[in-house]
Amino acid sequence: MLSSTLPTAAGGEVIYQRGDDRVWINATWGRTEFQIEDSDGVRIEHSDRDFIFAATALILGGTLATPQRGDRVTIVREEHGDQQVFEVLAPGGSQVYRTCDPEGHVLRVHSKRMT
């Protein structure tokens, strides 16, 4: 099944965190462009990184959760001895995630790089 092989081919394991609650999730990387209208017209912005993963993987504090603005996602790159931290958010007040399928089994979470 494609959804089970994508995280290793185009992504990896990440730490999803809200406050003190965290969970390791297998995610695929992506990027989204947003068209934002303001008083000067339409401008294009993009997420720094999208994380695509199974909705059932997001268990925080023992409860199935949905992504929220301000959550953190960390990519740990052991081979480089560093990590990249992203904050869950979307430009222009857009929703920070969307479902990738009609049943809502897969989520795409938008973020901006913090470190």
- Spell out, as residue ranges, where the chain has pLDDT lower than 70: 1-9, 34-38, 41-47, 78, 80
Cα 105 versus chain centre, distance: 15
CATH number, span 2-113 = 2.40.10
Q: How far apart are CA 18 and CA 62, in angstroms?
A: 12
Signed CA dihedral, 88, 89, 90, 91: sign only: negative
- Residue 115 class from Cβ within 10 Å (0-12 exposed, 13-18 middle, 19+ buried)? exposed
Domain definitions of the chain by residue range: 2-113
The β-bridge relationship of strands 11-18 and 72-77 is antiparallel
The predicted pLDDT at position 66 comes to 97
Q: Give 19-40 pLDDT, tens digit per residue.
A: 999 999 999 998 877 566 667 7
What is the greatest pairwise CA distance in the chain? 46
Residue type, 80: H
Tell me what pLDDT residue 54 has: 97
